[in-house]
Amino acid sequence: MTLGLTDLSAEDQLRMNVLMMANQVQAVRIDEGSMTLYALTDKGEARVPLHANCRADQYLHRVKEFLGGHALGSPGGYPVYLQRWTRMGQTSDKNLDALLLLGEPEAVVAVAHAPGLTDELARRVWWCQPTMEMARWMLEKDAVIAGRMGKVLADFLIEHLPFEENPDARMHTIRLVLYGKLTDEATTAKLWRMAKGVPYYFIGFLEFMPENLPQDQPARADFAEAETLLKPLAESGNVYAERFLSLLSANGQTWLKAVTEVLTKPSTSLVAYAMLDAISRYFYSTGYPIKASALEEIFPQAEAMIRGDAKTPEAIRVLLDAAPQFARSVQAMLGLSAITGKLADPWLLRNTAVGALMRRKIEPMVKPIQVEVDVLRSPGH
Residue 191: partners with Cβ closer than 8 Å, 6 or more residues away? 158, 174, 177, 178, 183, 201, 204, 205
**R_g over Cα of the chain:** 28
The whole-angstrom distance between residue 251's C-alpha and the CA centroid of its chain comes to: 23
Residue 4's pLDDT is 43
Residue 73's pLDDT is 75
Residue 206's pLDDT is 97
User: Quick one: which of 235, 238, 257, 233 has its CA closest to 247?
Assistant: 257
Pairing of strands 36-41, 25-31: antiparallel
Residue 1's pLDDT is 38
DSSP letter string over 27-68? Answer: EEEEETTTTEEEEEETTEEEEEE---SS-HHHHHHHHHHHHH
Residue 161's pLDDT is 95
pLDDT truncated to tens, each residue of the chain (381 aa)? 344 445 899 999 999 999 988 778 999 999 999 999 999 998 899 999 999 999 999 999 999 989 988 887 766 555 554 554 454 444 556 689 999 999 999 999 999 999 999 999 999 999 999 999 999 999 999 999 999 999 999 999 999 999 999 999 999 999 999 999 999 999 999 999 999 999 999 999 999 999 999 988 999 999 999 999 999 999 999 999 999 999 999 999 999 999 999 999 898 999 999 999 999 999 999 988 998 889 999 999 999 999 988 788 899 999 999 999 999 999 999 999 999 999 989 988 877 788 888 899 899 999 999 999 999 999 978
**pTM value?**
0.86
CB 221 within 8 A of CB 379: yes
